[in-house]
């Protein structure tokens, strides 16, 4: 009798242990969603079965328990994430202001924007990068921004239309809304996304870029902008758009508040070429400009979280 009871208890214990082990295998402890800490990271995302790469700078102030802004910065053609990092100086700005900055790598040094370049899904790529920043790095989904220069600026406009709700605002420097799919009358964003753009008056594509801003405003039924200003907005010049920086007489700004709640700011730099204005290094540097694109874009982004 005792031997039978002992065998029964032993069998019961084994069944309990087996069940616990099965539960542990089926429901393992949740891993931390944080991917890493401050510093430089080279990361990947998979888009359409293809692995894509981006660089990520995480400031020393980074705290995974606190949601932070993030900027995704797109290089020119041909270019690279490393080249964009050097050109813009966004790492230093991120350190000072406490945001993440990612630098996606184009295929063959280029992005598939409007009629150029390649056939890869670059809108899906930047969406995936933004998604990883939110899911694994605790970026605030209401403060994820997209910046680009030249070919990267073109893709910024494309993503603003084709990735609704992902980016709160975009910043295009020496890039624009023109060509290809932009010619369709219904090609416009379906969710509010604010835009800031910087154009060099001496850029061979300046007219195209300026026309693109006008087209964007027209598609969103924005009011015609007032005359350009070289001074910040004051109480005597009321507007729903946040004040801009004090400007050199050679820099002209127009600002518009659109019916969907977005703002559109356009800066034109007299004598400016096809460049990232204020950059001290890099292929598209412009040390003579009286405005710094990095500062202008971040000030605009900081003032334009997602509108709901």
pLDDT in tens, 44-100: 999 999 999 999 999 999 999 999 999 999 999 999 999 999 999 999 999 999 999
In a domain, 227, yes or no: yes
pLDDT tens-digit map of 150-201:
999 999 999 999 999 999 999 999 999 999 999 999 999 999 999 999 999 9
In a domain, 13, yes or no: no
Q: What is the pLDDT of residue 236?
A: 31
More confident residue, 156 or 236: 156
φ/ψ (deg, to 5) at 133: -65, -40
User: Which residues 6+ apart lie within 8 Å of 231 measured at CB?
Assistant: 246, 247
**End-to-end Cα spacing for the chain:** 73
Number of domain units in the chain: 1
CA distance 131 to 137: 9
Closest listed residue to residue 204, CA positions, set 170, 176, 183, 180 = 176
* Contact criterion met (CB below 8 Å) for 208 and 245: no
User: Which residues 6+ apart lie within 8 Å of 23 measured at CB?
Assistant: none
CB crowding 253-292: b at 16 or more within 10 Å, else e: bbbbbbebebbbbbbbbeebbbbbbbbeebbbbbeebebb
In a domain, 105, yes or no: yes
- State the CB neighbour count (10 A cutoff) for residue 93: 20
pTM of the full predicted structure? Answer: 0.84
More confident residue, 244 or 303: 303
pLDDT tens-digit map of 84-127:
999 999 999 999 999 999 999 999 999 999 978 889 999 999 99
In a domain, 73, yes or no: yes
Q: CA-CA distances (angstroms) from residue 184 to 120, 188, 294?
A: 21, 9, 31
Q: What is the pLDDT of residue 293?
A: 98
**Average pLDDT along the chain:** 86
- CATH number of the structural domain spanning residue 127: 3.40.50.1820
How far does CA 17 lie from the centroid of its chain?
Answer: 50
Can you give the residue range of the structural domain that contains 59? 34-232+243-302
φ/ψ (deg, to 5) at 283: -60, -35
In a domain, 100, yes or no: yes
In a domain, 12, yes or no: no
In a domain, 25, yes or no: no
Dihedral sign for Cα 198, 202, 204, 208, please: positive
In a domain, 224, yes or no: yes
């Amino acid at each position: 009798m005792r031997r039978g009871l002992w065998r029964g208890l032993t069998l019961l214990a084994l069944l309990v242990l087996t069940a616990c082990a099965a539960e542990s295998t089926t429901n393992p402890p949740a891993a931390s969603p944080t991917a890493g800490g401050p510093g430089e990271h080279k990361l990947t995302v998979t888009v359409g079965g293809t692995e894509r790469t981006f660089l990520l700078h995480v400031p020393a102030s980074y705290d995974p328990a606190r949601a932070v802004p993030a900027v995704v910065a797109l290089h020119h053609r041909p270019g690279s994430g490393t080249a964009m990092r050097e050109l813009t100086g966004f790492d230093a700005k991120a350190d000072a202001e406490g945001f993440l900055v990612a630098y996606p790598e184009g295929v063959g040094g280029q992005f598939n924007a409007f009629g150029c370049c390649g056939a890869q899904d670059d809108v899906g790529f930047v969406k995936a990068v933004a998604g990883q920043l939110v899911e694994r790095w605790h970026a605030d989904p209401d403060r994820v921004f997209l910046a680009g220069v030249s070919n990267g600026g073109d893709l910024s406009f494309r993503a603003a239309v084709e990735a609704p709700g992902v980016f709160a605002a975009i910043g295009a420097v020496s890039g624009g809304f023109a060509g290809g799919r932009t010619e369709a009358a219904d090609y416009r964003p379906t969710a509010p996304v604010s835009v800031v753009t910087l154009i060099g008056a001496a850029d061979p594509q300046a007219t195209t870029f300026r026309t693109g801003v006008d087209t964007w405003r027209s598609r969103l039924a924005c009011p015609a902008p007032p005359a350009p200003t070289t001074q910040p907005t004051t109480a005597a010049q009321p507007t729903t758009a946040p004040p801009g920086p004090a400007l050199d007489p050679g820099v002209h700004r127009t600002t518009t508040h659109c019916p969907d709640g977005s703002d559109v700011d356009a800066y034109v730099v007299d004598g400016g070429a096809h460049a990232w204005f204020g950059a001290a290094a890099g292929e598209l540097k412009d040390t003579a400009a009286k405005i710094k694109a990095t500062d202008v874009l971040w000030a605009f982004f900081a003032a334009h979280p997602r509108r709901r």
